Amino acid sequence: MSNRLANCSSPYLRQHKDNPVDWFPWGDEAFDRAREQDKPIFLSVGYSACHWCHVMEHESFESEEIAAILNQNFVSIKVDREERPDIDQIYMQAVQMLTGSGGWPMSVFMTHEGQPFFGGTYWPPDSRWGRPGFGQVLLAIVDAWQTKREQIVQQGAQIGENLQQACQGPAPSPSPLDPQWIAAADAWLIRHHDPQYGGFGGAPKFPHAMDLSLLVELSTFQPNDARTKVIHTTLDNMARGGIYDHLGGGFARYSVDARWLVPHFEKMLYDNALLASVYADAYRLWGNPEYAQVVRETLDYILREMTDASGAYYSTEDADSEGVEGKFYVWTPAEIEQVLGAERAQQFCDCYDVTEAGNFEESNILNLPKSISQFAALRQLDEIHLREQLSQDRDKLLQRRATRVRPSLDDKVLLSWNALMIAAMTRGYRAVADQRYLQSAQAAVEFIRSSLRRADGRLWHTWRQGTPSLDAYLDDYAYLIEALTELFQVDGRATTLALAIDLAESMIEHFSDPAGGFFFTADDHEKLIARSKDLADSSVPSGNAMAAAGLLNLARLTGRNDFLDAAESALVAASGVMSSSPQASAQSLRVLLRHLQPSQEYVLVAGSDASEFAELRQQLLKRIDPRALTICLAAASDEADQSNWEELAKLCPLVEQRQSVESQATLYVCENFSCQQPIVGKLAIVAELH
């Protein structure tokens, strides 16, 4: 018989609905039951694409013996960390304090009041690999609860007090916002990169998208050969490695080895959003066509596999299919020959490292040990013809792969991750001018406006199959505001800017800390044992850093000093991280970099020639300069366009009095609060942009 999780919205929780464990979702019912029965609480936190979460479920939570121990002695709560990042942040901090490390599945033992007194991550069902068995752990907790209760309660209270402080993050730096922090991070990343395979550190190796974005943006106006090598080595090797899906596009979560060959196969929406943005910006800066290919293939994967009919984006695809990690993605030479025929299969296998021996558990993860250019030169093949053949071959293999059993899809919609993908689609459009990406970004915004915004203007955090739930967190507001300011620079819609302004006002009202920066939860959020501040980057950007990014853009677009003050407050709140931990503060440093540079604004106004305006608009948008804001105003050809112009003029002083001169395309350039004479006509504008 199904347990209480059967009625939950989270696919991860529903995966556990048939466990013999008497699971509760997080809520008053579970805590009331623990008090009534005088039982400790077992809190298990994970997410749907987590491989070791699946392992622990199969080994322990499907075990009648272990379930009996849990049901008799504990009240068991299961939490989806993606739905409840507020709970995850607090108790992960506790586990790290208790054990020195953390991860998922996260296992925490708590008092009736939610005070943690013991915790860890994955435990096998029986003692092995130097880890105690989960059953052994449970019985030890039961004994301690019965015989050492006073000690447990005291320990929980002490940990709770420490959590209050730890969840605030490092104290602000006594120094003012210092450009040397950016230089120090630049040097740190160059020093710690892997010169052979790229990336930072050894195995397991994560993409570090925010760090790469910082390095790319630094390169736009401070070129440096060492930094350029770090970026290219990393982007080239990731794009050629097994972490990248060479048939379907998109990146896996991380590589278990140092050379990006063997991925942990799950695909996360946020990774692909952040990495698509990096490759798009790198392409805009250096023009490498392989970076453009990665952008197109990754965003096409999102449109094809990860986009709901409503326009929203799904969360994750699992690593496992048919109970086997990576089975969906790997190949044997015989399978490839069956699809391509002997001759083309041999060429494909040679190029993509497919052998009889295999490179992963007797099968093969597609990867490019040599670039296609190098392979063509080595085999004395015409590169253009080879690329055409390989493209055809990949399409055929993708069609064959589509007949396999797909990994499970977590189809819940998370607002914060959707906002990251809206920004990625916008940047992808700027890079490769594919209208589908702009349309996708706009459709996702309209979905949020209609389905994730409450009647009072506040936001929901998540949505699944028509039902929104859970009050939004700081990252939902901050990521969306930043994404809207990116999108506005491309679509020039007053409604886009107006939504960003409304949400910024709401974020400042409900999330601000009087001491500086922003809390992760709103002032009317459910009261937990601590109220955390999100100051450091993790696998996604820090909420405070993204709040600063969006607010800084809004301050420049609207001229509002309250937005500027709030942005600076968020930067100061993160200054302790920026000054001491460059590896955890790239997003804050990106905002600081823009804040310290002279501002630039470009307003392009259409003349009578629509095709000329479209060409100039794309040149302006493709140009990359993190200091610059762009606004593109098409000719007011109807009443709706005229209304948009009038509304924009109220919201954005930059567009006031901006008109085309002599019916020609006209570019207005302002820098550091001073405007130049209008630049009129195509030739003059092209010269300015180059």
What digits encode the pLDDT tens for the residues 457-474?
999 999 999 999 999 999
Per-residue pLDDT tens for 249-260? 999 999 999 999
pLDDT at 555: 96
Question: 180-322+410-596 has which CATH code?
Answer: 1.50.10.10
Helix (H) or strand (E) holding 442: helix 435-451
Q: Which H or E element spans position 237? A: helix 225-240
- As a whole number of angstroms, the distance between CA 418 and CA 536 comes to 20
Kindly tell me the burial class for residue 46, based on how many C-beta atoms sit within 10 Å of its own C-beta (0-12, 13-18, 19 or more): buried
Share of the chain above pLDDT 90, in %: 84
Segment 249-273 mean pLDDT = 96
Peptide bond into 105 cis (omega under 30): yes
| Confidence bin at 352 (pLDDT 50/70/90) | very high
Q: What is the pLDDT of residues 518-541, one digit of tens each?
A: 999 999 999 999 999 999 999 999
Query: For residue 29, what pLDDT band results from cuts at 50, 70 and 90?
Result: very high
Question: Average pLDDT over the chain, rounded to whole?
Answer: 94
Please check whether residue 104 is in contact with residue 49, taking contact to mean a CB–CB distance below 8 angstroms: no
pLDDT value at residue 206: 96
What is the identity of the amino acid at 133? G
Contact in structure between 354 and 331 (CB atoms under 8 Å):
yes
Q: Above 90 in pLDDT, residue 635?
A: no
* pLDDT average, residue stretch 369-384: 96
The yes-or-no verdict on residue 129 having pLDDT over 80 is no
Residues 6+ apart with CB under 8 A from 344: 389, 393
Question: What is the phi/psi pair of residue 119, to 5°?
Answer: -165, 175
- For residue 652, give Cα distances in angstroms to 198, 430, 489, 591: 42, 22, 12, 21
One-letter amino acid for residue 277 of the chain: S
Other CB atoms within a 10 A radius of the CB of residue 548 amount to 31
CB contact set of 625 (below 8 Å; sequence gap of 6+): 220, 221, 600
Q: Where are the CATH 1.50.10.10 domain residues in the chain?
A: 180-322+410-596
Q: What is the pLDDT of residue 637?
A: 67
- Where in the chain do CATH 3.40.30.10 domains reside? 4-166
**451: Cα separation from own chain's centroid:** 21
Helix (H), strand (E) at residue 117? strand 116-120
Question: Taking a C-beta distance cutoff of 8 angstroms, is the pair 471, 461 a contact?
Answer: yes
For residue 238, what pLDDT is reported?
Answer: 98
pLDDT at 668: 94
For residue 91, what is the enclosing H or E element? helix 85-99
Tell me the CATH class for 4-166: alpha beta
Residue 394: pLDDT band (50, 70, 90) is very high
Q: Any idea which architecture 600-689 has in CATH?
A: 3-Layer(aba) Sandwich (3.40)
Give per-residue pLDDT as tens, 315-324: 999 998 898 9
**Which of 407, 408, 415, 405 lies closest to 464, judged by CA?**
415
Can you tell me the mean pLDDT for 268-287? 98
What residues form DSSP beta bridges with 116?
110
Res. 367 pLDDT band, cuts 50 70 90:
very high
Distance CA 235, CA 241 (A): 10
* pLDDT at res. 638: 65
First-residue to last-residue Cα distance in the chain: 68
**Number of Cβ within a 10 Å radius of residue 633:** 22
pLDDT digits (tens, 9 = 90+) for 130-160: 778 999 999 999 999 999 999 998 988 898 8
Contact 654, 670 (CB under 8 A): yes
For residue 414, pLDDT over 90 is answered with yes
Element spanning 386, H or E? helix 383-401
Residue 273 has a pLDDT of 98
Distance of alpha carbon 2 from alpha carbon 653, whole angstroms: 58
Place of tokens 């622990």: 56
Check pLDDT > 80 for residue 1: no
Q: Which two tokens stand for residue 250?
A: 């998109």
pLDDT mean over 279-301: 98
Least reliable range by pLDDT among 42-56, 232-246, 423-437:
42-56
User: What is the CB neighbour count within 10 angstroms for residue 647?
Assistant: 15
Per-residue confidence band for 2, with pLDDT thresholds at 50, 70 and 90:
confident
Residues in the chain: 690
**pLDDT in the model for residue 686:** 94
Phi-psi region at 308: left, alpha or beta (left = phi > 0; alpha = psi -120 to 50): beta
What is the average per-residue pLDDT within 574-596? 96
Q: What is the dihedral of CA 24, 143, 166, 535, to 10 degrees?
A: -40
3-state secondary structure (DSSP) of residue 141: helix
Provide the 10 A C-beta neighbour count for residue 661.
Answer: 15
Question: pLDDT per residue over 647-683, tens digit each?
Answer: 888 999 888 888 899 999 999 998 876 788 999 999 9
